């Protein structure tokens, strides 16, 4: 019996037009779930830090920094026809210390819920651990996007392995022109394009990527490094554009102006995909070795790009078996060596692209949405059986 045909699912998450990766992720997932025949159209309980003009899919708004709002939303969900809540958990999204207000919501919630963990810290603070432990205890299932987090969820956060589901970060599918056609369209001709996209912050390690280009262009003048994206809103609010200006100053000091280009805007999904499609190398020089998931790296894998990355957890998992090259942390020489290895060996690049493309095919949103739908159906069926009164 499939109970999910009548089951109503709602997501608790940020949502566009709020500009953040979590909002885009949730929008992509629910839009793809619309195409899953066994499910009704999912709805959104939007986490808001200010006033936004949402579309009709948003049925409730949680005021991020309002303690009482978490209790009120739980009560409204309980009185609604929602039968399953999916919590998209990320640090900085929920109110209180480390997002502890969320515990008030789940403490008052009477419908089953699933939690997707977008960040799993190996060395959490006591408060961070407390929150994830309680979410894990009360969730019917938890979703993680990388196998490397299973042992953390089990051993650090005491979540039983039977509750843990591994589902890839989804990637939107688009039919696109060839790499050569897109380069011509954007005025890059026969250049080798290296790119990095996402909200810019010091943790991205972009200064090492810029320094690496200083070595690369000594041997390969036909390259362009595109740093795509605006400064992270939280960083901008706190420090303004100081990090971007530091990067731009470094570009000027190293005489790299002809080779490094900043595209300072919040990119649409279509723009991200188009830039990726015309990239020869995608680079993530991130500094946090424990980063368990990267949406930007997922997109690059999804579109079969060769990746040069520092060896943070997600990169090590996704670039295994020859799908990319790993450079040392905070080491521009190591990044430059990897880039030049790819540029010097086009046959090696083609082999890596083919291996990456095969993994990327499994990460398209249609396949990912069906995996989520299967988990939703399982939870809804279990809950129905548990609540059925036998006469």
Question: DSSP secondary structure string, 203-257?
Answer: GG-HHHHHHHHHHHHHH--SEEEEEESPBPHHHHHHHTTHHHHHHHHHHHHTT-T
CATH number given to 3-170+364-387 = 3.40.50.2000
CA distance 161 to 79: 32
Instruction: Tell me if 188 sits within 8 A of 224, measured CB to CB.
Output: yes
Q: What is the pLDDT of residue 281?
A: 98
CA 56 to each of CA 53, 59, 181: distance values in angstroms, whole numbers, following the listed order: 10, 7, 38
Q: Average pLDDT by consecutive 10-residue portion of the chain (391 residues)?
A: 61 94 94 86 96 96 98 98 96 96 98 96 95 98 95 96 96 90 94 95 95 97 96 88 96 97 91 94 95 90 96 94 96 98 96 95 95 95 74 41
Q: What is the pLDDT of residue 6?
A: 52
Q: Please report which residue ranges of 12-146 form alpha helices under DSSP H.
A: 21-33, 67-79, 102-108, 126-138
Q: What is the pLDDT of residue 3?
A: 41
Q: What is the pLDDT of residue 20?
A: 86
Rounded to the nearest angstrom, the gap between the alpha carbon of residue 219 and the centroid of all alpha carbons in its chain is 34
CA 284 to each of CA 189, 196, 203, 294, 310: distance values in angstroms, whole numbers, following the listed order: 24, 6, 11, 9, 7
CA 237 to each of CA 63, 114, 230, 231, 315: distance values in angstroms, whole numbers, following the listed order: 20, 32, 13, 10, 29
CA distance 97 to 378: 33
Rounded to two decimals, what is the model's pTM? 0.85
Q: How far apart are the first and last CA of the chain?
A: 20
The yes or no reply on domain 179-361 and CATH 3.30.2450.30 is: no
- Residue 153 CB-density burial (10 A; 0-12 exposed, 13-18 middle, 19+ buried): buried
SS3 category, 308: strand
Q: What are the boundaries of each domain within the chain?
A: 3-170+364-387, 179-361
CA 228 to each of CA 106, 329, 343: distance values in angstroms, whole numbers, following the listed order: 38, 21, 21
Q: What is the pLDDT of residue 19?
A: 85
Find the Cα–Cα–Cα–Cα dihedral 318, 129, 61, 232, rounded to 10°.
-50
Instruction: Tell me if 128 sits within 8 A of 136, measured CB to CB.
Output: no
SS3 category, 34: coil
CB proximity list for 47: less than 8 A, separation 6 or greater: 12, 13, 14, 15, 62, 64, 93, 94
CA distance 292 to 312: 7
């Amino acid at each position: 019996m499939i109970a999910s045909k009548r089951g109503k699912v709602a997501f608790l998450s940020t949502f566009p037009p709020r500009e953040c990766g979590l909002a885009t992720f949730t929008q992509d997932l629910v839009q793809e779930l619309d195409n899953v025949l066994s499910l009704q159209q999912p709805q959104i309980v939007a986490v808001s830090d200010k006033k936004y003009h949402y579309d009709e899919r948003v049925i409730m708004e949680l005021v991020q920094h309002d303690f009482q709002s978490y209790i009120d939303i739980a009560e409204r969900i309980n009185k609604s026809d929602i039968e399953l809540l999916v919590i998209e958990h990320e640090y900085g999204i929920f109110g209180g210390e480390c997002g502890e207000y969320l515990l008030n919501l789940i403490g008052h919630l009477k419908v089953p819920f699933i939690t997707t963990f977008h960040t799993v810290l190996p060395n959490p603070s006591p408060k961070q651990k407390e929150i994830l432990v309680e979410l894990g205890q009360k969730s019917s299932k938890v979703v993680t996007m990388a196998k490397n987090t299973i042992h953390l969820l089990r051993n650090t956060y005491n979540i039983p392995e039977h509750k843990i589901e591994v589902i890839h970060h989804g990637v939107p599918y688009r039919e696109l022109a060839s790499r050569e056609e897109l380069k011509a369209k954007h005025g890059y001709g026969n250049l080798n394009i290296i790119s990095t996209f996402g909200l810019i912050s010091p943790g991205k390690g972009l200064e090492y990527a810029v320094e690496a280009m200083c070595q690369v262009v000594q041997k390969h003048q036909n390259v362009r490094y595109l740093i795509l994206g605006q400064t992270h809103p939280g960083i901008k609010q706190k420090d303004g554009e100081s990090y971007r200006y530091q990067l731009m100053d470094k570009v000027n000091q190293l005489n790299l102006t002809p080779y490094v280009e900043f595209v300072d805007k919040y990119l649409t999904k279509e723009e991200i995909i188009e830039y990726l499609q015309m990239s020869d190398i995608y680079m993530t020089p991130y500094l946090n070795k424990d980063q368990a998931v990267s949406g930007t790296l997922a997109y690059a894998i999804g579109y079969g790009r060769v990746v040069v990355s520092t060896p943070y957890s997600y990169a090590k998992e996704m670039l295994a078996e020859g799908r990319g090259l790993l450079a040392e942390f905070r080491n521009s020489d190591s990044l430059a060596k990897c880039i030049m290895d790819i540029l010097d060996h086009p046959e090696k690049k083609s082999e890596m692209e083919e291996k990456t493309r095969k993994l990327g095919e499994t990460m398209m949103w249609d396949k990912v949405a069906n995996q989520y739908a299967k988990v939703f159906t399982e939870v809804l069926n279990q809950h129905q059986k548990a609540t059925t009164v036998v006469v």
